[in-house]
Amino acid sequence: MELHVLNHPLVEHKLTVLRDKNTPSSTFRELVSELVSLEAYEATRNLAVVDKPIETPVAPMVGKAIAKPRPIIVPVLRAGLGMLDGMTRMMPSAEVGFLGMKRDEEHPTQQITYANRLPDDLSGRQCFLIDPMLATGGTLVAATHYLAEKGAKDVTAICIIAAPEGIKFVEDNIDPSIDFRVVVCGVDEGLNDRSYIVPGLGDAGDRLYGVVD
135 marked ligand binding residue: yes
Q: Is the pLDDT of residue 115 over 80?
A: no
Question: CB-based burial of residue 32 (10 Å sphere; 0-12 exposed, 13-18 middle, 19+ buried)?
Answer: buried
Q: Is the pLDDT of residue 148 over 80?
A: yes
d(C-alpha 159, C-alpha 169), whole Å? 15
pTM to 2 decimals?
Answer: 0.89
CA-closest candidate to residue 203, choices 6, 21, 35, 34: 21
pLDDT tens, 2-38?
Answer: 999 998 999 999 999 999 999 998 999 999 999 999 9
131 marked ligand binding residue: yes
Domains annotated for the chain, with CATH where assigned, are: 2-49+62-207 (3.40.50.2020)
pLDDT tens, 77-105?
Answer: 878 888 999 999 999 999 999 998 766 66
101 marked ligand binding residue: no
Q: Is the pLDDT of residue 212 over 60?
A: no
134 marked ligand binding residue: yes
Question: Distances in Å between the alpha carbon of 34 and those of 37, 39, 87?
Answer: 5, 9, 9
For residue 76, the SS3 value is: strand
139 marked ligand binding residue: yes
44 marked ligand binding residue: no
121 marked ligand binding residue: no
197 marked ligand binding residue: yes
pLDDT, averaged across the chain? 90
Q: Which helix (H) or strand (E) holds 104?
A: strand 98-104
pLDDT exceeding 90 applies to what percent of the chain? 73
